[in-house]
């Protein structure tokens, strides 16, 4: 893990009628990862996309595909998304009682394994599973829809998780997702996050502005 700030544009906020082109443009604009939210309409109240779309989008970028499974159950989706071209698969700690077997399964496929927690979930639940994680994703909004306001009370959680990671000795990226913009990105970086997921902040502007938006998020790092 590098403490250099990585920017992962979330295609949930992109124009779905031209997703491939949107990915191509943010790739050239300096995106480090491409963040892909997968929602099943059960675990969260929204539906997004499946493995076929991810597979079709793979040709538009060689950057890591950061797939966030907001599904319950998620076990049946790990292999299909791995085969579709995911490089990182993140599952939710709230979705199943024992995520360790799924984290191991993700790693066994040669991918990085991530765990995500909702705003109301205590970070203490992460302690027993840190050694199985390559990434921890802190939701700074309630998951389900893009364009929500950042929840500042999550900053303490980010700080606590950064301390947990540092004390563990494991190399784990700390990612944040939800309401990330020029101002909140600074707060998250200071709290210890090194991967910023941003959707609306980037994609609500014109494609010609994506480069500036990504630079704005990366500043002061």
Q: Angle CA(49)–CA(31)–CA(33) in degrees, nearest 5?
A: 50
Find how far residue 124's CA is from the centre of its chain: 20
Q: Angle CA(171)–CA(177)–CA(98) in degrees, nearest 5?
A: 60
Strand order in the sheet with 135-139: 6-9, 195-198, 173-177, 135-139, 112-117, 88-92, 65-70, 34-39
Residue 93: φ, ψ to 5°: -65, -25
Owner of token pair 């793979």: 58
Distance CA 182, CA 203 (A): 14
54, 21, 41, 57: which is closest to 210 by C-alpha?
21
Q: Other C-beta atoms within 10 Å of 98: how many? A: 8
Length of the chain in residues, anyone? 221
Cβ atoms of 58 and 78 closer than 8 Å: no
Residues with a catalytic annotation lie at 37, 177
Q: Which two tokens stand for residue 32?
A: 């480090």
């Amino acid at each position: 893990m590098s403490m250099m700030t990585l920017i992962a544009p979330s295609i949930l906020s992109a124009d779905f009628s031209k997703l491939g082109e949107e990915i191509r443009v943010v790739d050239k604009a300096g995106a480090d990862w491409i963040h892909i939210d997968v929602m099943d309409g059960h675990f969260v109240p929204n539906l997004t996309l499946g493995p076929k779309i991810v597979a079709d989008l793979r040709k538009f970028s060689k950057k890591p595909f950061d797939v966030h499974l907001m599904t319950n159950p998620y076990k049946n989706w790990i292999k299909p998304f791995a085969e579709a071209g995911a490089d990182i698969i993140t599952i939710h700690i709230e979705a199943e009682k024992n995520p360790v077997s799924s984290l191991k399964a993700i790693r066994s496929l040669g991918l990085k394994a991530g765990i995500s927690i909702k705003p109301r979930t205590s970070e203490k639940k992460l302690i027993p599973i840190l050694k199985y994680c390559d990434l921890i994703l802190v939701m700074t909004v309630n998951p389900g829809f893009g364009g929500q306001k950042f929840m500042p009370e999550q900053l303490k959680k980010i700080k606590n998780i950064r301390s947990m990671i540092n004390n563990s000795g494991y190399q784990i990226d700390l990612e944040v997702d939800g309401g990330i913009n020029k101002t909140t990105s600074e707060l998250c970086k200071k709290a210890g996050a090194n991967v910023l997921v941003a959707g609306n902040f980037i994609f609500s502007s014109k494609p010609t502005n994506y480069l500036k938006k990504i630079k704005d998020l990366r500043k002061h790092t």
